[in-house]
Structures are given as C-alpha cells and as structure tokens.
A and B are shown apart, each in its own frame.
Chain A
C-alpha cells in the first residue's frame, strides 16, 4: 500500500485541482539545476571570473623581461582597477613607453602616477616618457575605469624591449 502510494505520487490528480506532474517534475529539476548553476557562478566569482581574483589578476612580462605589466584581465563596466607598468631602461634617464591598441578606447585612465616627463598621443595610441631611478627602473601606476564592453587587446612596448600583450575583457 505504502509502496504503491509512493509510486503514484508522480501521477497527476484531477481533484481538487488539475495537476500536471510531468511538468512539475521538470520545474523541480530546473530549480535544482538552477541552484547548481548559481553555486558554480558564486565559485567562479570567488575565483575572479568577474574581476579581482586568481583567474583575473595577471602579471606578464615580455620575452626579455624588460617590460612588466600587472593588470586585471576581467573588468566590469564602470568599475575601476589598477594597472602597474614596470620598465627597465638606462639609469637616471627617461625611458619611452608606448601604449597601443584598444586600451584607450575601452578604458578611461582615471589616474596616472607618477606624471610622465613627456606625453604624446598619436594615431595608434599614446607614448609616455618616464624617469628611471639609479637602477634604471621605472614604474607607472594607472587606474583604469572600464567604459566599453567586450574584449580589448592592447600592446605595451618600450623601444629595445620585447612588447607585452594585454588582453582585457569588460563585462556589462
């Protein structure tokens, strides 16, 4: 009796309400899989799929190691993230950095520290000259605010050094 009632639980009743158990089972299954999907999204968010986390933070350098860029690969529209560009040049001199590609189209540079000695914008992008220290190192700190949507590929280069490719994705 008990077993039979268990088996008939999935049968639709017509009284007092008209049921559609086949559909209801689908709804329950949707709720369960939806929950799995939500947990997965939470885990991915913790890992940094939507910016700030191990999946998103990048630290790349050119093949000769002279130019090094630390940045977030994933951005969200309207949020700000830091970017650090380090370059090795001659000691106590200025070194040229060239930012080309889509970087300036997808992002608004909110702050740029320290102020470059000289800056120039051309057709392709932006050139900055920064002062190196006694060891020949210079760093540039940028705050980027994502203004576009989608993938933005850019290059950061310095004459005489291998360029660095920077790919960034901005979520809506």
Chain B
C-alpha cells in the first residue's frame, strides 16, 4: 500500500513544484540544469523506495507512476480544463518586431533569450525580422520570421 501512496504523493508534489518553476525552467537543458535534474532524481529515489529495495516494490512504484501518467493524459483528452491546467497555453512575446515587455517580464525572460532562439532556429539577426515569437507550452521559444 505505501509504495503506491509514496509514488502518488511524489508524482503530485513534483507536478506542482515544476508548475511553480514554470514551463521554461528545464526546457533549455544546460549542463547545470542537467546536473540539477540528476540531483532531484537522486533525492526523489530514496523517498520513492523507502527501505524496501525489493523487485516488487520498484515495479509497483513504476506501475503507479506510469498509470497516473497515462490516466492524466486520458483526462487531458476528455477535458479542456484539465489540459489547460496541466499543459498551459502558448504566449506571444514578440509581435511584428516589437517585444511585449510585460509578458516577457512575467515569463522571466530577457531579450537575449528571444534573440538566441531566433538565431538558432531561423538565422535571424535583428528583432525587426521577427514577426512572432511564441513561448510554447513546453517552454521552448518558437520564432516566425517576417516575410521579406
């Protein structure tokens, strides 16, 4: 019983924590983010398994986690509300070459982040060449270039 409870509580806790962290926090995985992710995994592991290192326990924990995950995706398919709650929605941050500063500030981004995405995805050099920049639901910035 407790392994299922552990996995459920941990799943929900991580869901809420990563919602607080925001969609961009681990979207662009830098070396440091990767190390951070590993440490989080390490800290989670003990609480998930407790003192029980049996095969049964670990399989139970994995089954619980996957079951919740699949269950949530089924729920997302059926309910628009749940989908929005868990995945969020896209946000436009550059419109016709102009930065929407308030949105950028709330999303904890700076102009350099937008230009970095613009360069790496479209080879864009200046802000004026961007028609739209959008923070996607997964936290990545997608760029739509101005037509020449």
> Chain A contacts of B132 at CB under 8 A?
16
- Give complex CA distance A49, B71 in Å: 35
A-B contact count (CB 8 A): 50
The size bracket of the interface on B is 20 to 34
Comparing A26-34, A54-62, A99-107, A153-161, the segment that makes contact with chain B is: A26-34
- Give complex CA distance A20, B137 in Å: 12
Residue of A nearest to B16 (CB): A34
- Give complex CA distance A19, B98 in Å: 18
Please count how many residues in chain A sit with their CB below 8 Å of the partner chain's CB atoms: 23
A38 interfacial contact with B, CB 8 Å: yes
Binding site for A on B (CB under 8 A): 16, 19-22, 50-51, 84, 88-92, 95, 98, 100-103, 106-107, 132, 134, 144
State whether A34 touches B50 (Cβ < 8 A).
Answer: no
B92 touches which of A17, A23, A37, A78 (Cβ 8 Å): A17
With A30-B19, A34-B19, A38-B20 known to touch, is A24 a contact of B91 (CB < 8 Å)? yes
Residue of B nearest to A28 (CB): B106
State whether B51 touches A78 (Cβ < 8 A).
Answer: yes
State whether A6 touches B101 (Cβ < 8 A).
Answer: yes
- Give complex CA distance A20, B102 in Å: 15
**A–B Cβ pairs within 8 angstroms, 14 of them:** A5-B98, A5-B100, A6-B101, A9-B102, A9-B103, A13-B92, A16-B92, A17-B90, A19-B89, A20-B89, A21-B91, A31-B20, A31-B22, A38-B20
